[in-house]
Every structure is written in structure tokens, then in C-alpha cells.
Amino acid sequence: MKQLITIFLSLGLVIGLSSIDFTVAEAKTKKYKNCSELNKDYIGGVARSSSAKNKGGKVKYKPYVSKELYDANSRLDRDKDFIACER
């Protein structure tokens, strides 16, 4: 009897976990039309990694670091320094 209960509980757990949608990262990645729109949400721009260095010199604000968000908006990085819309 205990084995039967264990099997049903395990089966329920497997079915429950398989129905969960793991698309949290996709919800955060938003494509922006231009830098003005991106800077409304991320005032310092978006960097691909924390080790990205700005080619343009000193910046006023620190960029938000997100590989997924940068990749979705990489066309806004005109100087190709892996920081999009830096300010």
C-alpha cells in the first residue's frame, strides 16, 4: 500500500513539474525602438557583462547588466562596446 501511494505521489510531482512554463527570462527581454525608450527603464543603458568597458569615456550612470536584454537590443549599441544606450 505504501508503495502504491509513493508511486502516485511521484507521478503527480512529475506531471506537475512538466506542466510549469519556464519562460521567465523571455518575459524580461523587451525590444526597444530607440535609446530614449530604453533609457526610460534603464537610465544608464544596458551592458552585456559587468566587465564591458565604455569606449566613449566617462559615463554619468552605471549600466544595467543583462546578457539577454543586451542581445535583444544590440542594434542600439552604435560604438560596439557591449553597452547599449550608455549615458
Residue range 20-62, pLDDT digits in tens: 655 444 556 899 999 999 999 999 999 999 999 998 888 899 9
Mean pLDDT along residues 74-86: 95
What is the reported pTM? 0.67
DSSP 42: -
Give the pLDDT of residue 2: 77
Give the number of residues written for the chain: 87
Q: Report which secondary-structure segment, H or E, holds 72.
A: helix 67-72
The backbone torsions φ and ψ at residue 86, rounded to the nearest 5 degrees and listed phi first, read: -70, 150
Question: Which triple of cell numbers denotes residue 49?
Answer: 557583462
Distances in Å between the Cα of 24 and the Cα atoms of 20, 21, 28, 68 are 11, 8, 7, 12
Across 8-12, 18-22, 47-51, 74-78, least confident range: 18-22
**Mean pLDDT across the chain, nearest whole number?**
86
